[in-house]
Each structure stands twice: as C-alpha cells, then as structure tokens.
Amino acid sequence: MPWDLGRFWNTLTYYEALPWAEVWRRVQNGFQAVEDDFVPPSLSEPVAIQIGVVGEGLPDGLAEALRQQGVEVSHTPDWATATVILGLGDPPTAKAYLEQLRSSGQTERMLFDFRRPNPDLHRFWGILDDVVMGGASQSQLLWGKEELLFAGQVSTANFGGFVSTRTRNWQPPLDLSGFAGLELRLRGDGQRYKVLLRDQGGWDSPAYGYAFDTAPGEEQTVQIPFAEMVATFRARRVSAP
C-alpha cells in the first residue's frame, strides 16, 4: 500500500499538530466557529450506572423512596444494588460533576461507555496510524452491537508498523490524581496492545505506557495501575517524574 498524503494531512490537522491547524479546521467547517470544549461521550449523555451497598443493605424506607424516583432497586438483608441515571448535558455540568466525584472519594468512575452509539464520537476520538512517519497501515473506528470496534491492517511497508486510536486533548485536562489506575473492558483478537497516557498538551510529547495481551474473541477486564506505567517517547524508555 502506498503512503497516503491525504490521511497524513488529516491526522495532523485533527490533532492540531501544526501551528495553523485551527485555521484549516475553520476552512473545513465553512468558516464557522469550531467547538473545542470536548467532553467524553459518557459524561455528555445520560449514563446508567450501578451502585452497590455492602453491609446492612438499604436503610428502612430508602428502597421505596428510590423506586418512587424511578430507580431500579434490588436488595437482600446483606446486599443492595440500585441503578441510577446520571444526565450531564453540558460541559460546565460535567466539569462540576468531575470535581464532585474527586472530592467525594468515590473509588470508581466511568470515563467512556461504548455500549450505545454516539454520533459525536469522532469529535473526541480519532485515528493515529504510522502514516505520520511515512507508513501505510490503516485503521478505523466502527460501531458494533453495544460496542465500539477498533479495526484495521498493520503494514511494515515504508518502515511503518502500527495503528492506534487516540483522544484529542481534554479541555480542561482531566485530573485523575485521586485514582490508582484504569480498567478496560474489551474483547481482543490475540494481539498485544498498549495504552498511552500523557500529562502534557503536545501531541508528540512523552507518554506513560502499559502493554497487555489479549485472547482471541474473549471478553477481558484489564487493570492498568498508574504506578506500573512506563515513561516513553516514540517507543523508547525515558526518564520522567
């Protein structure tokens, strides 16, 4: 497969890797204002989450009060769960919610929920393949049944050899200092994958990486402790705080 100049150009402008990328995006947008307050899909739409209570179960009367509010509740003498809906329709509300979670000491938080298709996916998630270094690999994001599929073809032509999907920069940056790591729920294809996190705004800045293996067709839960992530720059280990 030959190198694709068009994909190379689109990648650089999408991730604003060029100083005049915003101008080009305005041209593509018909000179209309470009929205840069990107909020992850799971925080911009109503999301169903389950809350578990361990111990004495729900206090007397609380189960019925929750049901009257439209909450699904099930409980036994020593265990209770309640399914609630969180609706966050705008960035200020989402930001306030993040601050509330951080100060509350909650142990888990959903960042992305791909069980429902979201038409705004490509405003936040994009493709970053080896076309940026002259390669010919190609990948794409596709909606499946209650899942998001990352698929493509890796080619070693032109000294390439990788495909990836990546978010645009968070606005404002996401503060995960109160958490111990990430948890991914996925179905793999038997290949090894790597997760990269950045604490700087540059699209080619050093990143913290963690590699994991997948089993073909099997659902997996992968836990990624921040303390075990390795500082890298262009696939080479570097020193970092």
**pLDDT per residue as tens digits for the range 190-235:** 999 999 999 888 878 899 999 999 999 999 999 999 989 999 998 8
Domain check: are 150 and 217 in the same one? yes
Give CA–CA dist 160/5, Å, rounded: 15
Q: Domain containing 200: what range?
A: 5-29+119-234
Domain check: are 24 and 129 in the same one? yes
Give CA–CA dist 169/156, Å, rounded: 29
Domain check: are 214 and 153 in the same one? yes
Residue 40 falls inside a structural domain = no
pTM for this structure?
Answer: 0.65
Give CA–CA dist 185/111, Å, rounded: 12
Domain check: are 143 and 215 in the same one? yes
Per-residue pLDDT of the chain in tens (241 residues, 90 and over written 9): 677 767 777 777 766 665 545 544 555 455 454 455 555 544 544 444 445 544 455 566 666 766 666 666 666 665 555 554 444 445 566 556 556 655 665 667 778 888 888 888 888 899 988 888 888 899 999 998 889 999 999 999 988 889 999 998 887 778 777 778 899 999 999 999 999 999 888 878 899 999 999 999 999 999 999 989 999 998 889 987 6
Residue 110 falls inside a structural domain = no
Q: What is the end-to-end Cα distance of the chain in Å, rounded?
A: 40
Residue 35 falls inside a structural domain = no
Task: Report how many domains make up the chain.
Answer: 2
Residue 111 falls inside a structural domain = no
Residue 37 falls inside a structural domain = no
User: Distances in Å between the alpha carbon of 18 and those of 12, 14, 28, 33, 153?
Assistant: 6, 9, 15, 18, 27
Residue 134 falls inside a structural domain = yes
